[in-house]
Amino acid sequence: MIEAKKMPFFGEASRKTKKLFETAYSIERRIPFFALKLRSVMKGMDMTAYYEGSTYCGFSVVGSTDEGAYVYYLAASSEAHNADYSEQIVESLKSRYAETTLVVDVEAHSLKAANNAERAAKRKFYLSHGFAASGYGYKDAGVFEILVHGEKLEPSAYSALINKLAFGLTPLRARPMKELS
């Protein structure tokens, strides 16, 4: 069973997370790691490292408001994929945020995308762990579908959660998925 620990600002966990972050997310999908760490000390931001014993399993970055919690980033180390650590991280987040709506986004299917199988697998993974389509999404270097665990929120609440990471500097607006296709 994995254990969640607050991400230290420096040290081995931080170095491993930076490496995993840079391999798990394309440059278009990530902010500079140092900026991410700075944001992690803000109220309502949580950067967590996961371990099984002394084995580093992965990380998550979650921003929360009174209305919900948004999983900005979640990744398990490649060694950890064999041990279902991704599933355990998701279950840990569902438990930690059980009293609120937990929100994730996935890249929507696109005729132009070379990674549609990967996109479908990620969506299926979240759906198989109790998430549901919200009916909303947003555009940011592609179309992203918003999935929820818990009550569905108003579009403005999704927008507020999404924009928390960027301090509102690049405001994104959640809209019905049918408008984004």
Q: What pLDDT is attached to residue 81?
A: 54
With bands split at pLDDT 50, 70 and 90, how would you rate the model's confidence at 149? Answer: very high
Q: What is the pTM of this model?
A: 0.89
- Domain boundaries defined on the chain: 3-180
Predicted confidence (pLDDT) per residue in 26-68, tens digit: 888 888 898 889 888 888 899 999 999 998 999 999 999 889 9
Q: What pLDDT is attached to residue 172?
A: 84
Does the pLDDT value for residue 80 go beyond 60?
A: no
CB 153 within 8 A of CB 101: yes
The dihedral sign for the CA sequence 116, 122, 128, 134: negative
Predicted confidence (pLDDT) per residue in 94-142, tens digit: 999 999 999 999 999 887 888 888 889 999 999 999 999 999 999 987 8
Strands 101-107 vs 132-139: parallel, antiparallel or unpaired: unpaired
Q: What pLDDT is attached to residue 82?
A: 55
Section 167-174 average pLDDT = 74
Does the pLDDT value for residue 167 go beyond 70?
A: no
Domain 3-180 of CATH type 3.40.630.30 = yes
- The string over 78-107, giving b where at least 16 C-beta atoms fall within 10 Å of a residue's C-beta and e elsewhere, is eebeeeebbebbbebbeebbeebbbbbbbb
